[in-house]
């Protein structure tokens, strides 16, 4: 048991540097995918540091070439017994509690940061922060799983600063030496090492926002695809064609429930979004409405044949009644809605640093 605890602690490294605490995710070969034990440890550390008057700043980073790919979904699927979806629900409840803690944290934090492919949906409050991107860019990012570079993250508002990788060690040292929780001071320090990168000529955010807004503002996924197909006829744009194909290859169920989710997220706070998303993910894990999550994990993460068989297989086979079920309470005697603590809403959002 002691060896197991030590092993898990090795995956979340902690360094005390003056009044700052540096937390490093340490699973570089797995791109810092986070296990249940790692999530629990992060929750523990953030709660302790918030109450510690000595700690004025928390820096969260990842070792290796990635900050984190998120939760260790492949391990979760392997660990879940056929009938015990609650193992997964318990994992996500801890993840969502951590996200809520970070979103309402009382001290400055800095951290450098494609579910529809897996039969899941963008969660961890994605319906909150993606819905607040300009126009309907959040719908585009969430439905297509498109990857954004640092310049695009800064431009659309997903990142607050852009710092070249070579400058990150100097920035970290400056933040640790600041001995301050003042967000004005923290932001000014990050500004000293930040740059304003130019968007690439072929960047989606640079060239195609009008198409994205026109198409992804449509009421349904079917209407979004139809609008893209009309654009494709007129412009013969390879990006539009690729976007259509991407949507048609993704889980139809995931697309429909995410579109409903982000539209509701526009009118909800972060806590409300997490409570709703927990209902959704619990239904996904329970697998009674669709087993797309397990099929997606099989095809992409386990067998890696990249050929999932979605069920239902077509958008038109999924009516509003089926979608509505994902937003209802789970009917199980041992399941309950996500319980989030009552917290004062601090105006100290994390500084999200994009890098090269």
Q: Mean pLDDT across the stretch 124-134?
A: 91
The full DSSP string for 204-245 is HHHH-HHHHHHHHTSSSHHHHHHHHHHHHHHH--HHHHHHHH
| pLDDT score of 7 | 55
Residue 156 has pLDDT above 70, yes or no: yes
| pLDDT score of 22 | 95
Query: Please, which pLDDT band fits residue 319 given cuts at 50, 70 and 90?
Result: very high
pTM for this entry: 0.87
Strand partners, 109: 58
- Interatomic CA distance for residues 348 and 107, integer angstroms: 7
| pLDDT score of 341 | 85
Q: Mean pLDDT across the stretch 249-258?
A: 95
Q: In what order do the strands lie in the sheet with 109-111?
A: 12-17, 20-25, 57-62, 109-111, 351-354, 161-162
Q: Mean pLDDT across the stretch 126-153?
A: 91
| pLDDT score of 115 | 56
The predicted-structure confidence for 9-34, as pLDDT tens digits, reads as follows 699 999 998 899 999 999 999 888 89
Note whether 154 and 190 are within 8 A (CB): no
| pLDDT score of 111 | 53
| pLDDT score of 8 | 56
Note whether 47 and 97 are within 8 A (CB): no
| pLDDT score of 2 | 45
The predicted-structure confidence for 50-105, as pLDDT tens digits, reads as follows 999 999 999 999 898 888 888 888 888 877 765 578 888 888 999 999 989 988 88
Note whether 59 and 178 are within 8 A (CB): no
Q: Mean pLDDT across the stretch 245-259?
A: 95
- Topology annotation, domain 2-354: 2-enoyl-CoA Hydratase; Chain A, domain 1 (3.90.226)
Q: Mean pLDDT across the stretch 131-154?
A: 91
Residue 249 has pLDDT above 70, yes or no: yes
Assess whether the previous peptide bond of 304 is cis (omega < 30° from 0): no
Does 334 or 59 have the greater pLDDT score?
59
Query: Which of 63-72, 140-149, 220-229: highest mean pLDDT?
Result: 220-229
Task: Write the CB contacts of 299 (distance below 8 Å, at least 6 apart in sequence).
Answer: 305, 306, 307, 308, 309
Residue 1 has pLDDT above 50, yes or no: no
Q: Mean pLDDT across the stretch 239-262?
A: 95
Q: Give the chain's mean pLDDT.
A: 87
| pLDDT score of 348 | 52
Residue 113 has pLDDT above 60, yes or no: no
Residue 112 has pLDDT above 50, yes or no: no
| pLDDT score of 4 | 46
């Amino acid at each position: 048991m002691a060896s197991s605890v030590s092993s898990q602690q090795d995956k979340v490294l902690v360094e005390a540097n003056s009044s700052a605490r540096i937390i490093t995710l340490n699973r570089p070969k797995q791109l810092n995918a986070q296990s249940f034990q790692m999530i629990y440890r992060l929750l523990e550390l953030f709660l302790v540091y918030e109450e510690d008057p000595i700690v004025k700043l928390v820096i969260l980073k990842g070792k290796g070439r990635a900050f984190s790919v998120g939760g260790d979904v492949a391990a979760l699927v392997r660990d879940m017994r056929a009938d015990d979806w609650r193992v997964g629900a318990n994992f996500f409840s801890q993840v969502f509690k951590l996200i809520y803690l970070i979103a309402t944290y009382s001290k400055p934090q800095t951290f450098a940061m494609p579910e529809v492919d897996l039969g899941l949906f963008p969660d961890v409050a994605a319906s909150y922060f993606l819905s607040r991107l300009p126009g309907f860019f959040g719908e585009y990012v969430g439905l297509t799983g498109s990857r954004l570079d640092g310049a695009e993250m800064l431009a659309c508002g997903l990142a607050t600063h852009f710092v070249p990788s070579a400058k990150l060690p100097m920035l970290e040292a400056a933040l640790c030496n600041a001995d301050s929780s003042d967000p004005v001071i923290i932001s000014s320090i990050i500004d000293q090492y930040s740059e304003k990168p130019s968007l690439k000529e072929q960047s989606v955010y640079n060239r195609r926002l009008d198409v994205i807004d026109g198409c992804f503002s449509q009421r349904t996924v079917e209407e979004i695809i139809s609008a893209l197909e009309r654009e494709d006829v007129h412009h013969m744009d390879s990006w539009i064609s690729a976007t259509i194909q991407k949507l048609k290859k993704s889980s139809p169920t995931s697309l429909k429930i995410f579109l409903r989710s982000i539209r509701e997220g526009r009118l909800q706070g972060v806590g409300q979004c997490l409570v709703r998303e927990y209902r959704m993910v619990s239904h996904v894990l329970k697998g009674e409405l669709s087993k797309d999550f397990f099929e997606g994990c099989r095809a992409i993460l386990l067998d890696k044949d990249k050929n999932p068989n979605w069920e239902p297989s077509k958008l038109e086979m999924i009516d509003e009644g089926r979608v509505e079920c994902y937003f209802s309470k789970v009917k199980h005697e041992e399941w309950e809605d996500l319980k989030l603590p009552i917290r004062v809403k601090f105006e100290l959002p994390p500084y999200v640093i994009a890098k090269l």
